[in-house]
Amino acid sequence: MTKADIDAAFVEFERVQKSYDGVTLVVKDLNLSLPKGEFLTMLGPSGSGKTTCLMMLAGFETATHGEIRLAGRPINNIPPHKRGIGMVFQNYALFPHMSVAENLAFPLEVRKLDKAEREAKVMRALDMVQMGKFGGRRPAQLSGGQQQRVALARALVFEPELVLMDEPLGALDKQLREHMQFEIKRIADRLGITVVYVTHDQTEALTMSDRVAVFDDGRIQQLATPDELYERPLNSFVAQFIGENNTLTGVVTEIKGETCNVKLDSGDIIDAKPVNVTKVGDRTKVSIRPERVEFNKARLRPDAHTLKAEVLEFIYMGDIFRTRLRVAGHDDFVVKTRNASDQVRLQPGTTIDIGWMPEDCRALDA
């Protein structure tokens, strides 16, 4: 593979808009480009337009405006069955009147493969998802997890280069879901296919994806790798949506390079890193992760601002301690500390000073 091949966008959305009713835009100005072999997840709350984007890519919905390209070719006018895109549906959509093997043979039959070749490929695909023994069963005779595997095998059996999955694990219980996340990721990596995966479960998105596109209100709020997304959210929606997050509101009072000061609504001054604020006087929501809050004075910079906090609740969670504090008038401020042998266990009712490194506290849009 040459450098040019890797860089070339495999799937591209350019200025895509979609409206179902001609009144509201469900997808507003979507720009997205992903290279071959990438596992990209569309993450967002229900109704944010993820499925709509996937359906436009698959060809079941037409874009109201804009262009969608696959391997450099515009596909707006190509019917779904000629796009050669594998798809796993949320309810699996296994054909109930066909056996598992017949379901898998279906895409090969319509591609006019001969019988021997078909059987070999079906067997290989079933083995890949460890369902080799179930070829003769009807979908109704399989458990949810097994149906999921078959649906995956069916989407892969005709060797598509791009596979779309719309909340494929939504109907499974937690344990099975975690197992299948790993399984899907493993298979995708082994086959080197490009995957566009839709979910509203952020853990799923973070564990599986190369990159995650966070959707809200018909727009991509941030498109980044999981660690980037978690550690450097670009706006307060992303910060709230991904992982646990403490939010304080206030006004920027001073900006000096990579740090700034924010005066909270309670009057306290804190250190922060300006991300979405440009000038003194901007209102901001600052975001800080629970595990980055420090209450050991010795580990803070000498000139760091601190805040008074009252301990409300201490929860022992095994690997970590979760402590709830009242800070600057908010009583849902959470601190997480590792259960190390020398770790302090904060007592409810006591008052402590807390602070943080300025780069861990991001001043975002209000």
Partner 1 sequence: MTDATQETSGPIVAADGRPLRQSLNRALRRQKIRALLLIAPLLAFIMVSFVIPIGDMLFRSVENQIVPETLPRTTALLGDWDPDLGEPPPEAVFAAFYTDLVLAEERKLHTRLGSRLNYENSGVASLFRATGRDVGRFDTDIYTDQLVAAVPDLEDGAKWAGWMAEPPVRDALPQTADAYDGWAQMVAEVHNADPVTRQPADFVFAALYRDLAAGAAPPPPLDVDVGGFETVSIRDQFAASDPKWLDTGVWRTMRAYAGPLTNGYFLNAVDMMKSADGPRVRPENERIYLTLFLRTMKMSLVITGLCILLGYPVAWILANLPLRSANLLMILVLLPFWTSLLVRTSAWKILLQQQGVINDLLVGIGLVGDGSRLELINNSTGTIIAMTHILLPFMILPLYSVMKTIPPSYLRAAKSLGANDWTAFWRVYFPQSAPGVGAGSILVFILAIGYYITPELVGGTKGVFISNRIAFHISSSLNWGLAAALGTILLVMVLVLYWAYDKLVGIDNVKLGG
Ligand X SMILES: Nc1ncnc2c1ncn2[C@@H]1O[C@H](COP(=O)(O)OP(=O)(O)O)[C@@H](O)[C@H]1O
Q: Beta-carbon neighbour count of residue 20 at 10 Å?
A: 12
314 binds partner 1 (CB under 8 A): no
Q: At what angle do helices 100-110 and 144-156 cross, to 10 degrees?
A: 20
Query: Total residues at the site for ligand X (CB under 6 A)?
Result: 10
86 binds, among partner 1, ligand X, Mg ion, none (CB under 5 to 8 A by kind): partner 1
Q: Residue 13: beta bridge partners?
A: 32, 68
The interface region with ligand X, picked from 41-49, 98-106, 146-154, 322-330 by CB under 6 A, is 41-49
Contact between 34 and 225 under an 8 Å Cβ cutoff? The reply is no
* Interaction between residue 170 and ligand X (CB under 6 A): no
Please select the residue that binds ligand X; options are 49, 86, 145, 250, rule is CB under 6 A: 49
Answer for which of 11, 39, 44, 168 binds ligand X (CB under 6 A) is 44
- The crossing angle, in degrees rounded to 10, of helices 174-191 and 144-156 is 20
Residue nearest ligand X, CB atom distance: 51
Rounded Cα–Cα distance for residues 22 and 25 (Å): 8
Element (H, E) at 85: strand 85-88
- Rounded Cα distance between 39 and 194, Å, is 6
Q: 44 contacts which partner out of ligand X, partner 1, Mg ion, none, CB within 5 to 8 A by kind?
A: ligand X
Strand partners, 67: 14
Residue of 41, 48, 51, 222 interacting with Mg ion (CB under 5 A): 51
CB of 132 to ligand X, least distance (A): 33
Give the whole-angstrom CA distance, residue 251 versus residue 221.
Answer: 23
48 is a site residue for ligand X (CB under 6 A): yes
Q: Residue 110 binds which entry of ligand X, partner 1, Mg ion, none, with Cβ cut-offs from 5 to 8 Å by kind?
A: partner 1
Cβ 226 to Mg ion shortest distance, Å: 21
Give CA–CA dist 292/49, Å, rounded.
33
Residue 182 contacts which entry, partner 1, ligand X, Mg ion, none (Cβ below 5-8 A, type-dependent): none
Closest approach, Cβ 347 to partner 1, in A, equals: 55
Residues contributing to the site for Mg ion (CB under 5 A): 51
